[in-house]
Structure 1
Amino acid sequence: MPRTDEPAPIEGLLEGAEVLADTYDDYDTEAARRRVRDRCAEYTASPDVPPRYPSAHEQAAHDLNLAVALIVNAPQAAVSLSRLADQDRMDPEGAVVFGALLHLAGHRDAAQFWWQFAAGGGNRTAACCLFLAHRRRAEFRDAAYWHGQCRGPAGQGQPPPATPAPAPVTSFPLLPETVRHDLISQCRRGRNPSLPASLEAVINRLRVDSADEDFGEVPQPDVALTGELARGPVKPQ
């Protein structure tokens, strides 16, 4: 199938996407985006990994891994994930974070389910992840659709996303600092980033909804998930 679109660099897509931008009224979104750009610039300048890959699907896989690592690194990721599991109306921003965790744990189809949920709520970060996920599988027609949604409201014709709930005063990291840094380091070395086995086991223990005919078994968020992830990997005795 011929390619229908050339992808923008990952830093360009993240600049246009609303990466959890509305979670805090007093959060300096522009400063956060500058940190993302600086992290991407530092990453692509690394001599350890070539900045471009020889095929579209390899480049997309690399860019998706980097985007996922940055999503779980976001300061407000834990709060967004908590709201996904702890309220009647599920939060699209939390669904982006949950999809990123599922991707890291190897549940790629389930990650797509939650990103599609978030994109349907108007989240452009989720649309960016879907663009890269489809391009990684050389599904260029679907990738082209989601590429368009990265630059404008996802799910045209649907009602606008609901106003976020009032933000809490404080936040806490979703993952321990050493784990978050290791995810970026794995990307720098050209590896597929993955969580430590004990944190992956936390995700694998989540309740599963097996009723979805397109995605099969889809893990569901749990109110205790953020606390278990924040405690970090279990150290050997």
Structure 2
Amino acid sequence: MRPQEPRTIEEALARARIFEGDYTAAHQAASQRRITEQLLELRWMQTLAEPHTGSARPARAPLLLHEQAAVDLRALCQGVIHDDDAVHRLARFDTFRDSGGALAFACLLVLADREEGAQFWLQFAAGGGEATGALCLYLLHLRRGEWRDARHWAQQMSALEDWPSQYTPVPHEVVDAAPATCGGVKVYINLPDHGAAIPESAVKGAMEDLDVDQVGDFNAVPQPSPELAHQLEDLVTAGR
């Protein structure tokens, strides 16, 4: 049954009125928190979308934020695996699980589109003090649109910038950071001129025969093979 139509303006206004007792102070505080979080999220995204100070990249049409993160992540991984020490660290990584070897292996997995395994080893690298690992995770989550996870790794990267004895094959620097409550960060990545990029199809071919183990909550974590370092050395040499 349809409700009875209001007969006067006063009756219509009375029905539209929000009575004070309907909303408590807790409701108001929760609403304010949601609005604040949304404003901080917007501010963080706007900060990241601005041009990076000091960037040497040529002028081009601006990309969407997640698209730029995807481009930066793959370029960063190419820089890591072209580093002269990457092959040696990868060769040792089969026996000694050091954080620098984890970073090199994870970058190969990124380029081979084996993202779940890459995320595991990037977390391993970042946990070992590698700021570059945290930077890769920041870009990875930014590409997915996972803003809170991206903020977390941005903060971790800033904290690890001066960590001693870390492996930094591609120099990078935090050039502008938003307030701590916002968690945004802009990074200058000094990508080396290493010649032609290694074709990602070749990287995928080199990673086809990796062993896969279940580790914790990760269903399929690729493990490095002893031959992988030699394959990487061949790929880098062919690209020069």
Structure 2 length as normaliser, TM-score?
Answer: 0.61
Shift of 1:209: 0.7
Shift of 1:212: 3.8
Q: Which residue of 2 aligns with 1:229?
A: 232
Residue 80 (structure 2) pairs with residue 71 (structure 1): yes
Give the counterpart of 1:151 among 154, 158, 174: 158
* Residues 51-78 of structure 1: per-residue CA shift (max 9 Å, x gap): 631x211111111111111111111111
Give the counterpart of 1:52 among 49, 62, 67: 62
Larger RCO: Structure 1 or Structure 2 (Cα < 8 Å, ≥ 6 residues apart)? 1
Shift of 1:210: 2.8
Shift of 1:205: 0.2
Residue 220 (structure 2) pairs with residue 220 (structure 1): no
Shift of 1:225: 1.1
Of the structure 1 ranges 103-112 and 202-211, higher mean CA displacement relative to structure 2 is found in 202-211
Take 2:88 and 2:51, find their aligned partners in 1: how far apart are those partners? 25
Q: Secondary structure of 2:62's match?
A: coil
Please tell me whether the aligned partners of residues 10 and 63 of structure 1 are also in contact (alpha carbons under 8 angstroms): no
Code of the residue aligned with 1:52 in structure 2: it is P
Q: Which runs of 5+ in 1 are unaligned?
A: 13-36, 155-159, 165-179, 185-192
Identity of aligned residues (%): 35
Give the counterpart of 2:214 among 210, 216, 223: 210
Code of the residue aligned with 1:206 in structure 2: it is L
1:92-171 equivalences under 5 Å are: 92-153=99-160
Q: Which residue of 1 aligns with 2:195?
A: 181
Q: Secondary structure of 1:216's match?
A: strand
1:11-22 equivalences under 5 Å are: none
Code of the residue aligned with 1:218 in structure 2: it is V
Q: Which runs of 5+ in 2 are unaligned?
A: 1-37, 167-193
Take 1:4 and 1:11, find their aligned partners in 2: how far apart are those partners? 16
Task: Judging by fraction of residues, say which structure has more strand.
Answer: 2
Shift of 1:9: 8.9
Q: Secondary structure of 1:75's match?
A: coil
Change (3 A) 1:10 1:225: farther
What do you get for the CA RMSD once the two structures are aligned? 3.1
Change (3 A) 1:8 1:118: farther
Shift of 1:152: 1.8
Code of the residue aligned with 1:134 in structure 2: it is H
Structure 1 length as normaliser, TM-score?
Answer: 0.61
Shift of 1:132: 0.3
Please tell me whether the aligned partners of residues 96 and 115 of structure 1 are also in contact (alpha carbons under 8 angstroms): yes
